Chain A
Amino acid sequence: MKKIILLASLSFIIVFSLESCSRKIQRVSPDQTIDISGRWNDSDSRMVSEDMIQQVLSGAWLDRYRTKFGKEPVVIVGLVRNKSHEHIDAETFIKDIEQSFIRSGRVRLVKGGAFREELRAERADQQNNASISTVKKFGKELGADFMLQGTINSIVDAHKKEKVVYYQINLELTNIETNETVWIGDKKIKKFIEN
């Protein structure tokens, strides 16, 4: 009798311990669209970057600038304002756009913000620590011609268990000297969510 009880309790423990290990994890393609909560996700970010890259590199501003000055424009990434109802980090699609600039070779990119501060700090450090032949000089940075700025907006319409969420992402390129906006790209995403 004791053996039976022991066996039963052991099998009970084994079954429950296996049950708790039933989590499945599998690698999926980053291009695969998986919607779980209906909130902003990687698929939305990817859609934005794909559309924006196509729009910015085919814009008339690029040819106009090259015709006028005979060189590639220099762009710096400015601030993106998220005025939507969700926490969205624009860096996911901004990085894709930056990458496309460099890969295409038609737009030059300069660093801004905290990264630039870090570079300047390194340059400053070199003034005292690097060998004379390898010291990088101050005052030789590439000045940007255009600044890329953007906004993320959203509209939510919810009733009972149904919800419509609309996102509008705008990116703009503005001439730093003249304040002339030379390009505006937009991406609109609309989702219908049933709970």
Chain B
Amino acid sequence: MKTLPLIALFMTSFLFAQQNREALDYDQNPNYQISQQKYMKESPKYVALQGTTLQQTYKAIDPLEEKRELKALKKRYRAERLKWRHEERMEKYKNGYVEYYDVPRSSINFGWGWNNWNNWGRYYSPFSFNYGFCY
């Protein structure tokens, strides 16, 4: 009577093992679940790319093309130089930059504060408005 639970346990484990064996296809690797679990987690990132073209392009050695690219780059830089200079100047003045000597930073120039016999050392502020009293 005491051996009955043992026999039942043995039978259950045998049946379980048998069932597991039956789940395998012919010639299927019994360790397939290790790989299955790994790829079940990773599949979304691969599946999302289906039907698309992955661009893994390289830069070919082509002197003529390089020349063209360089020319286009120079053209672009030339076009943007004016803007860059302006931005540079703005940044300078924002940080309190004054050419040659310090002058009061008034936004309105009434013509005093410096001599006007030449442009040297003239304080220029992009925020100021010159009323024409002083050039």
Contacts and interface: CB of A to CB of B under 8 A. Distances in A.
- The B interface is mostly helix, strand or loop, or mixed, namely loop
A156 B58 CA distance: 11
A84 B57 contact: yes
B64 A87 contact: no
B50 A113 contact: yes
Interface string B19-57: 000000000000000000000000000111111111111
A176 to B, nearest CB: 12
A105 to B, nearest CB: 21
A35 interface: no
A113 B47 contact: yes
A82 B54 contact: yes
A55 to B, nearest CB: 20
A34 to B, nearest CB: 21
Contacts of B60: 85, 154, 156, 158
Interface string A63-95: 000000000000011111111111111110010
Interface of A: 76-91, 94, 111-117, 152, 154, 156, 158-161, 163, 195
Q: Which 5 A-B pairs have the closest CB atoms?
A: A112-B50, A113-B50, A156-B60, A85-B60, A113-B51
